Amino acid sequence: MTMGKYVRITDTSLRDGSHAIRHQFTVDQVTRAVKALDEAGVPMIEVTHGDGLAGSSINYGFSATNELELIEAACATAKRAKIAVLLLPGIGTIHDIKEAQKRGAKACRIATHCTEADISAQHIAATKELGMEAITFLMMSHMIEPKELLAQAKLMESYGADVVYVVDSAGAQTMDMVKARVTALREGLDPKTHVGFHAHNNLGLGVANAVVAVECGADNIDGSVRGLGAGAGNAATEAIVAVFNKMGIETGIDLYAVADLAEEFVGKELGLTPIVNRSSLIIGYAGVYSSFLLHAERAAKQFGVPAHKVLEEVGRRKAVGGQEDLVLQVAAELAAQGAGDGKAQEPALAGAAK
């Protein structure tokens, strides 16, 4: 069924992966990673703060380097790949999109909570007016039923979106859940509108879910080298390419080149290995926004409570992206209730920077 199909892979290591290193990428690191990804044939590379344009803040974490410098360096380096940026309405603005476009960005990925597509209209319109590709994200898509998700996707399509993504921000979806949501979009949207899927690996299903998404009609898939990303990380780009090669799905990417980058840059230089541990597993199980992991670990250390218990309670309260302050509140409440166990918290990523 999938033999001979082409799927566009976007590597998000330099955006979603920013969460894993607390937004500390340097110009040199971005330049070297983009050069390697571009030479490997990756067609689209996403570069921004983990929370998108203008994400550098006390709420989300400050970047070591102004993201516009990183975007400019990436655009100057890439010879074939498009450089994409992420924007969350309410964090970034149309002005930020314009500044990214001036520096060479060719696509803007506009992300909203899965029930709030209506706040993306002006950002999509501005992106199209600038001649950029408009790619839209419906985040935390496990929180609503496929029929509701389709209604939100149709809004984004009506505003001019070129691609609409089902985004498993919490890594909470089983393969059946992915099948239902991607199928709903593929069957319900105009055939000219592309459908994408963005996985997190909190339940260990990232690559499997990407395969299911393609089998159900998605033709845009996100990955990151060695899975570098929030929570337990994303579906690993090199694993996606290897599996797709075996399935006869075309990506145009050199497997060995991206595997080298994963090993040398993420593994050896950054010293990171995304893993499914207790806290990241609870993120997927409880349906928590993946980027809450480091916030929960900091709060757990501050208040002397288990990070996984903080995450479990945050999930019970159905928190969504933008409610990072709730993590601190929950940790304080658990401490007041005597929930501390005095045990050290496990790191989100093996070898993660302190």
Rounded Cα–Cα distance for residues 298 and 330 (Å) = 12
Name the catalytic one among 19, 49, 194, 198.
Answer: 19
Q: Nearest-CA neighbor of 253 among 14, 8, 17?
A: 8
Residue 339, phi then psi, degrees to nearest 5: -85, -5
Contact 316, 288 (CB under 8 A): no
Specify the pairing of strand 107-113 against strand 349-350: unpaired
Instruction: Give the single-character DSSP code of 202.
Output: T
The answer to whether the beta carbons of residues 274 and 226 sit under 8 Å apart is: yes
Q: Is 142 a catalytic residue?
A: no
Instruction: Tell me the torsion sign for CA atoms 34, 38, 42, 47.
Output: positive
- Spatial CB neighbours of 354, under 8 Å, sequence gap ≥ 6: none
Angle at alpha carbon of residue 150, lines to 188 and 165, rounded to 5°: 100
Q: Which two tokens stand for residue 103?
A: 């520096």
Which segments of the chain are extended strands (E)?
8-14, 44-47, 82-87, 107-113, 133-139, 163-167, 194-198, 220-223, 273-274, 349-350
For residue 294, give both structure tokens.
Answer: 């480091």
Give the C-alpha distances (Å, rounded to integers) separating 320 from 120, 165, 295, 311, 325.
17, 17, 14, 12, 11
Report the catalytic residues: 19
